[in-house]
Amino acid sequence: MSTSTHLTIRQPHNKTPAIIQRGGGNAQLAYDEFFQATLSNTHTRRAYSRVVHRFLAWCQTNAIELRQVTPGLAGTYLQELDGSSPTKNQALAALRHFFDALVLRHVVPLNAFASVRGQQHRIIEGKTPEISIDQARKLLRSIDSSHVVGLRDRAVLGVLAYTGARIGAVAQLRLVDYRNMGDSRTLRFKEKGGKEREIPVRHDLEGWLRDYLVAAEITDVSRTTPFFRAAHGKQRRLTQEAYSAHSMRRMLKRRLTDAGLPALFSPHSFRVAVVTDLLKQDVPLEDVQYLAGHSNPKTTQIYDRRRRRVTRNIVERISI
């Protein structure tokens, strides 16, 4: 008996830049390896690609070959680069990684960006606007739950409001991630960096999820079955496809407008509201940090807008 395995081959991002072609076979290998094998995260790969290709274009314009890039030239490039300190630091990180690949494949003798220092940047409070408790309640109440699309959207926004999860993690939920623990339900989120978190579902959210699942009539319970499904155009019925994070963001904007609320809010606004609300109630920082999925408590503090162990008891205390 023979078996067949179907492999998905990711095609190269773009036509190889001329400066890479002139660098020879090892340069081509390092370039392909960096973008096709080293960077597993789609968002990181897209961001690093913009940075690297912009730098390679700068080298091309200034008639600089890869082996001619010195720490002095690297520092000059970053100083002249437009953008904020975080933008320049991201560019530095991307170019350091890229030149590590070039050094590894003996394209260049040293990493010209290794000795370049990044710019100091300290964030006291994040820029994401916080949706207030009253605004969140108004938004959730405004959704027409008489049909499956409304039930789905209420469930999506309920998960954001009552778990503080990132929109990307919500979009990745599969039916098997909604777990029955006997006395309660949990949602298992797959977060950035391959981390997984299991968050208890509070009683009212559990009801919303149940109403959505009953109306959606999801019968396929394989490990790949998406928890939230896309709608079929403007028709009030769902498809078999997963509800993407991008579509969820667009849905939120529509729902905000329909509710007469500012459209400046984003899915991240719920994370800000959750963190701030729990810290106001003196929930320990380490518990809120775990709920938010932050590896560093300083990141959690950035979400705290008071200046302007996750248990079901904690999520029940969210005031929305």
pLDDT at residue 40 is higher than 60: yes
**CA-closest candidate to residue 215, choices 224, 203, 225, 207:** 207
Q: What is the pLDDT of residue 289?
A: 79
Beta strand 229-231 pairing with 196-200: unpaired
% of the chain exceeding 90 in pLDDT = 56
- Dihedral-angle region of residue 51 (phi above 0 means left; psi in -120 to 50 means alpha; beta otherwise): alpha
The Cα 200–Cα 214 span in angstroms is 20
Q: What is the pLDDT of residues 86-138, one digit of tens each?
A: 888 999 999 999 999 999 999 999 999 999 987 764 544 457 788 999 999 99
Question: How many alpha carbons fall within 13 Å on the CB side of residue 233?
Answer: 1
Distances (CA, A) of 262 to 32, 62, 134, 142, 165: 44, 46, 13, 14, 21
Strands 178-180 and 185-190: antiparallel
Give the mean pLDDT of 132-153: 95
What is the reported pLDDT for 286? 76
The per-residue pLDDT for 235 is 80
% the chain with pLDDT above 70: 86
Band (299; pLDDT cuts 50, 70, 90): low
- What mean pLDDT is reported for the chain? 85
137-265 homologous superfamily: Intergrase catalytic core (1.10.443.10)
The answer on pLDDT for 76 being more than 90 is yes
Global pTM reads 0.63
Residue 279's pLDDT is what? 82
Could you give the residue range(s) of every CATH 1.10.443.10 domain in the chain? 137-265
Reported confidence tier of residue 11, pLDDT bands at 50, 70, 90 = very low
Tell me the average pLDDT across 34-40. 88
Residue predicted with more confidence, 167 or 308: 167
pLDDT in tens, 178-206: 999 888 899 999 877 677 888 899 999 99
